[in-house]
Amino acid sequence: MATTGQEIVIVGGGLVGALNACFLAQRGFKVSLYEMRADIRTQLHVKGRSINLALSRRGREALKMVGLEDMVVENGIPMHARMIHDLDGTRRPIPYGEKHQYIMSVDRKHLNEVLLNAAEQKGIKLLFEHKLIRCDFDRGMVIFERADESQVTVSCDLIIGCDGAFSAVRNQMMKRTRLDYQQEYIPHGYVELTIHPKQNQFAMEVNYLHIWPRNEFMMIALPNQDKTYTTTLFMPFKNFESLKTKDDIIEFFQKYFPDSIPLLEEENIKETMSSTPAQPLISIKCHPYHVGTKGLIMGDAAHAMVPFYGQGMNAGFEDCIVLDELMDEYKNDFTKVLPAYTEKRHVDATAICELAMYNYIEMRSSVNSKLFLLRKKLDNFLQKLFPKSWIPLYTMVSFTRTRYHQCIERRKTQDKIIRCLSYSIIPLVVGVTVIVTKRNEIGQYISDIPLNISQLKISLDRFIHRFL
């Protein structure tokens, strides 16, 4: 494999950039990582997005491949179920899957630090306060601006943009190639609040992702190692804007989240909500992810999504696995790897962007519906009955590495089967009624039919498996 001497520049030392650097260094490439911010390992607080994140199977798998899974998981908190907070204060858990299936709440800063330390240990050159200004994908030249406004030009064999949703590398690619680009700001924004520990203990049940679903908006809370909860209120901007005074804010919480007030504390709610502007949420799709043989974008730079499936980082981490597998398949030949990466990853990244959008409705509204709960029960029942073939959508996305687009396809097939089953229920009920009422007359005809239930179940499982 031709890696000796090949140099890769990664732009962006966030979660995906730092992990990707570890993967590529492991393959023997000479990797340099350029980050526009100062080194977060030297900062007390880092401005920016959510304080904690839900890590699931895809992300864990990627961390495992660079030997970091245990270190990250040790510092995370398992969340086995959603804990729904109803308006009247009732709390009801909805498990994510089976007992061994859970997502982990991990601290974003800690995770980024672990990744940067690992990158450094693998001999990767880390350059902070270097902001990408321009790149030339034909010659493999990258120009960065340093904190003192001086510029530095670097040459390399491959430029990988892991520089987030507002990617400068992607902007440069758009000037060089016919890159389709689509972005959407949803009408909702978010504000983060903190629930502090009570008597040095977690203020609520710990191993849950707490949700206050209120149809048009919702609040969620994820536990942290220091026994706090990061609580996020997602709501349309127009609703945030209607809360003009501190009294408006507290009235709003009394109306929609009364049980959260003693947890968040009135003063904390008023101060945070009145001093923190709601942050926007963006979804980005683009195509292709590469230009020529020297430019590639990954992570949020290629597919930023709304955070409602907890998959943005997980998908970005899985990007690193996909690139690694293609490097294997095409023996590190960038001329083949890059187009193959776009071809393979685009369909899946688009699928998870769409699923993330759909899950917002599920989280804030569907969990309140009896039909949704019935469907969850039916899914769980069918999974127990046909464990190989009937895997619920959330389980496929969060606890397997089934390709995202296949998760959608399989869910559609499951929906069809359930529709067919429900259409057959009416004739079935009529049929059973007829049998019960006329059992004496037809009894003599059915007494000879042998019914082997376990054989029937096996045949059905095989049959469904063929189609899912």
Q: Which residues bind ligand FAD (CB under 6 A)?
A: 11-17, 34-37, 49-50, 53-54, 131-132, 162-164, 168, 190, 299-301, 307, 310-314, 316
- Closest approach of ligand FAD to the CB of residue 395, in Å: 16
Alpha carbon distance 75, 109 (integer Å): 12
Distance of alpha carbon 346 from the chain centroid: 16
> Residue type at 208?
Y
Residue with smaller CB distance to ligand FAD, 295 or 312: 312
Residue with smaller CB distance to ligand FAD, 72 or 162: 162
Residue with smaller CB distance to ligand FAD, 79 or 382: 79
- Closest approach of ligand FAD to the CB of residue 14, in Å: 2
- Closest approach of ligand FAD to the CB of residue 179, in Å: 17
- Closest approach of ligand FAD to the CB of residue 385, in Å: 31
Say how many C-beta atoms besides its own lie within 10 A of residue 218's C-beta: 23
Residue with smaller CB distance to ligand FAD, 76 or 288: 76
- Closest approach of ligand FAD to the CB of residue 140, in Å: 17
- Closest approach of ligand FAD to the CB of residue 149, in Å: 14
Residue with smaller CB distance to ligand FAD, 37 or 246: 37
Residue with smaller CB distance to ligand FAD, 25 or 313: 313
∠ CA 370-376-378, rounded to 5°: 100
Residue with smaller CB distance to ligand FAD, 288 or 299: 299
- Closest approach of ligand FAD to the CB of residue 380, in Å: 23
Query: What Rg, from alpha-carbon coordinates, does the chain have?
Result: 26
Residue with smaller CB distance to ligand FAD, 170 or 389: 170
Residue with smaller CB distance to ligand FAD, 314 or 350: 314
Residue with smaller CB distance to ligand FAD, 223 or 312: 312
- Closest approach of ligand FAD to the CB of residue 79, in Å: 10
- Closest approach of ligand FAD to the CB of residue 305, in Å: 7
Contact 82, 93 (CB under 8 A): yes
> What residues contact residue 232 under an 8 Å CB cut-off, 6+ apart?
50, 190, 191, 192, 193, 219, 220, 221
**Alpha-carbon distance values, 349 to 319, 392, 422 (Å):** 9, 20, 33
- Closest approach of ligand FAD to the CB of residue 302, in Å: 8
